[in-house]
Structure 1
Amino acid sequence: MRFSRNAAGTLFVGGALSLTLVALAYPGMLGVSNVSSDGSRVIAQTQWGPLTESDRDFVVKVRAAGLWEYPVGQMAVKKGTTKAVVTAGRHLIDGHAALDASCRKIAPMLNITLPNLASPQQQGFVNTLNADTGKQFDSDMANILRVTHGSIFNTIAKIRSTTKNTLVRELANQANATVLDHITVMEQTGLVNFDQVLFQQTTPPKLPATDLTPPPPPAGQPEVVLPPPPNATSSPLVIDGSPVTGPGQAPAPAPSPTTG
């Protein structure tokens, strides 16, 4: 992996902010003011059980992860130089399409606003990988994605063991299986530098909230959809009365710096 620093001394990996990954330190929810730092604070009573700040944050994190990892999967299928990297890309597309469908299914049921773009930091990862070529792409993709999935794995376990909301619990079950699969295929590329990856997972820097927060969707903007591949093997949650798709939804973002 390539390391560099900007004028302010911020550490980068392959040109992207590296150490605080995915949306694990997600500071503010879209359309909702955080008035408490206590993730266990109940913000709504629903027919599926109480919804806490942590529950809501988790649904947004899963959505945001797919908005940049799905395009990276598309890149890996096109740019990967080994069969293992291409396979990893296909797993990203398949798994995040199903997770995204689940998020879009349960979010309106729980009155949660979802982003249509990943955070600036996450888009930075897409920028880096979009610019990479050849073996550098293979290496950066495997290591960045291994850090992000390894980091959120612990978050999933905590949500699964503490949530009282049945919809969030089912999403955590699905996310657990998907993230474990993605960790595995990244490791199977043979490119993961475990010393660096584990250091990055356990030593995150402090970054501004604006770097970690996906922008809220403008009013009336069609909801971005991550369509499943033709040979999809992963399935979204099955919940009666909550369709996965509907009118006015936009197609999935292309693997570009502005939609990652």
Structure 2
Amino acid sequence: MNRTRLLAALAGAIVAVLALPALAFAGPPIPTQLSNADLTLLNGVRTAGLWEMPAGQMAAERGAHPVVRQIGATIAQQHVKLDQDVVDAANQLGVTLPTAPTAQQAGWLDEMRGASSNQEFDQIFVTRLRAAHGKIFPIIAAVRSGTRNEVVRKVAQEANTVVEGHLSMLESTDLVRFGELPPVALPEADIAGGGSLVQAAQGRAEAGSGFSPAVVWIVLIAAVVIGAANSYRVFRPRAAR
């Protein structure tokens, strides 16, 4: 009988200990307010579509190489859907999106229109789009991994797939001048922390999870000690009367 009661008490202590991490890991409710990163993604995807759709259409009509013409048509078509999805998401979230490309993006379109030959157009098209995709790709990945808004996460997931595909298509033309691409820019906070992307990711995960690993271990150890003490008091040998 004593052995049965002891096993039951130990089982209860184990269940209590296993339940503690779940309680410790539980963070605050997911906020509905959008972060600056969320807004940057929505605006960036929107303005990307506003200049890449006409750029892709120009490539489909003017490209010197069949591959460039096909890539241009595909990019324009895929941005039509992505643009509609980001507009729908913004309407759902109450966000006002840009209605025109940035001045820099408009300048790239003018540069394409002013190309002196179709061959020059191909080079400008690939160079500008490859650089632009490389710039927004890490932003999309960061928001995809860190946003707390489900609607934004879905947009980031779709944009990640689209942009990665566009990078591969543009690179397949053999017109990308990799030596002229801008260097990878890490966030200053990551560099200050030692420049390790792994360390930065771990730090962000801990910061956003609502718990401290040290606190979890302290609670676990305390629970085991208390459980052992209670079991000893219940089942310790009693002096004969």
Deviations 1:96-134 (A, max 9, x none): 111100111011211111111101111000000111131
State the one-letter code of the partner of 1:105.
D
Equivalent-residue separation in structure 2 for 1:173 and 1:92 (angstroms):
17
Deviation at 1:202, TM superposition (A): 3.6
1:24-35 matches, within 5 Å, as: none
SS at match of 2:96: coil
1:158 aligns with 2:142: yes
Q: Which residues in structure 2 correspond to 1:20-59 (within 5 Å)?
A: 49-59=32-42
TM-score, normalised relative to structure 2? 0.62
Distance, in Å, in 2 between the alignment partners of 1:113 and 1:142 is 30
Q: Which runs of 5+ in 2 are unaligned?
A: 1-29, 186-241
Of Structure 1 and Structure 2, the greater strand share is in 1
1:51 positional shift: 1.4
- 1:182 aligned counterpart, secondary structure: helix
Q: Among 85, 90, 96, which residue is 2:79 paired with?
A: 96
Structure with greater proportional helix content:
2
Where do 5+ consecutive residues of structure 1 fail to align?
1-46, 204-260
Question: What amino acid maps onto 2:160 in structure 1?
Answer: N
Q: What is the rounded CA distance, in whole Å, between the counterparts of 1:201 and 1:90 in structure 2?
A: 29
**Which structure has the bigger radius of gyration?**
2
Q: 2:126 aligns with which of 137, 142, 145?
A: 142
In the alignment, structure 1 residue 76 sits paired with structure 2 residue 59: yes
The structural deviation recorded for 1:63 is: 0.4
Counterpart of 1:72 in 2: which secondary structure?
helix
| Cα distance per residue 1:109-160 (max 9 Å; x no partner) | 1111111110111100000011113111001111111111011111111000
Does the CA contact (< 8 Å) of 1:153 and 1:176 recur in 2? yes
Percent pairwise identity = 35
Matched, 1:190 2:169: no
Aligned partners of 2:97 and 2:50: how far apart in 1?
11
Instruction: Show the 5 A alignment for 1:1-260.
Output: 49-132=32-115, 133-197=117-181, 200-202=182-184
**Count of residues in Structure 1 that have an aligned counterpart in Structure 2:** 156
* Contact 1:73/1:88 (<8 A) preserved: yes
Aligned-residue CA RMSD (Å)? 1.8
* Residues 173-197 of structure 1: per-residue CA shift (max 9 Å, x gap): 0000000111011111111111112
1: CA distance, partners of 2:184 / 2:113: 26
Q: Matched residue of 1:116: which SS?
A: coil
Q: Which amino acid aligns with 1:168?
A: V
SS in 2 for 1:109: helix
Structure-2 separation of matches of 1:151 and 1:61: 10
